[in-house]
Amino acid sequence: MSSWYAGQVPGGLMSPIITDRWGRKGAYLLATGMMTLAMAIQTTATAIHLPEMLLLGRLVASFFSPMSDAVAIMYLQEISPTKLRGVLSSLFNGGYAVMALLGIILGMDALLGNHITVLLSIPVVLGLLALPFLLWLPETPKFLMISSKNPEKALKSLEFFQGKKLENGLILEQYLREAESEPTNKDSGTMTDLFKVWYLRKALILSLEILPNSHPLC
């Protein structure tokens, strides 16, 4: 069980690199596909009673879990109108809680608690259903406009998620202005800025304060 956290550390470090290079959609497909494969490995491991295979499956799933979490929030933020961005971003927490509750209920002895192979196969089915849905979704308009520099695809994506509106052109221009205001790699700073820059220091302190609420032992 503890191997999950060993895989999450390197996975969390790799997540921003992949989401920026491959795009939000590419990272989401990769994370979902690999986590589905990992659950299939765990299901097979319990069926053939091979603990080493179960450990491998958990490590693979834990490595791509942070990427899945991060890209889900980014997707919701980048496809939503500004006035709904906070509301839609919070849907991630609700969905996470619902699925955790579903797992607890299905894991009860009265249901599938004594049938671990069947229990572990459920995420495989959900993952296989999620993959074609993600393939159908377009890349986020913000990524297409800023990183891919493709205004035509960005406009189509924006119309897909927010509908055809007269102000869509202005929204794409706002994406560009936002990108221009961001620091370049030369001016992006270092890790020490987390302690030296006041607003970064506040963000660091806030994240450390909420850490106990998300810690598995609490």
Task: Note the pLDDT tens digit of each residue in 186-218.
Answer: 455 666 777 888 888 888 888 777 766 655 544
Copy the structure tokens of residue 115: 């049938």
Q: Which residues contact 87 (CB under 8 A, 6 or more apart)?
A: 80
Instruction: Give the pLDDT confidence of 146-182 residue by residue, as tens digits.
Output: 988 899 999 999 999 999 988 899 999 988 887 776 6
CA 215 to CA 45: how far, in whole Å? 28
Q: pTM of the prediction?
A: 0.81
CA 72 to CA 202: how far, in whole Å? 25
Q: Taking all residues of the chain, what is their mean pLDDT, rounded to a whole number? A: 86
CA 159 to CA 168: how far, in whole Å? 8
Instruction: Give the pLDDT confidence of 14-44 residue by residue, as tens digits.
Output: 888 899 889 999 999 999 999 999 999 999 9
Calculate what percentage of the chain has a pLDDT beyond 90. 50
Distance of CA 138 to CAs 19, 39, 105, 154, 158, Å?
A: 15, 26, 34, 9, 9
Number of Cβ within a 10 Å radius of residue 69: 17
DSSP one-letter string for 59-90? HHHHHHHHHHHHHHHHHHHHHS-GGGHHHHHH
Q: What is the pLDDT of residue 217?
A: 46
Instruction: Note the Cα 141 to chain centre separation in Å.
Output: 17
Q: Which residues contact 17 (CB under 8 A, 6 or more apart)?
A: none
Can you list the pairs that 95-104 forms with residues at least 24 positions away whose Cβ atoms lie under 8 Å? 96/69
- Which amino acid does the sequence have at 68? S
CA 104 to CA 86: how far, in whole Å? 28
Q: Which residues contact 218 (CB under 8 A, 6 or more apart)?
A: 212
Q: Which residues contact 4 (CB under 8 A, 6 or more apart)?
A: 58, 61, 62, 65
Calculate what percentage of the chain has a pLDDT beyond 70. 90
CA 78 to CA 175: how far, in whole Å? 10
CA 163 to CA 33: how far, in whole Å? 29
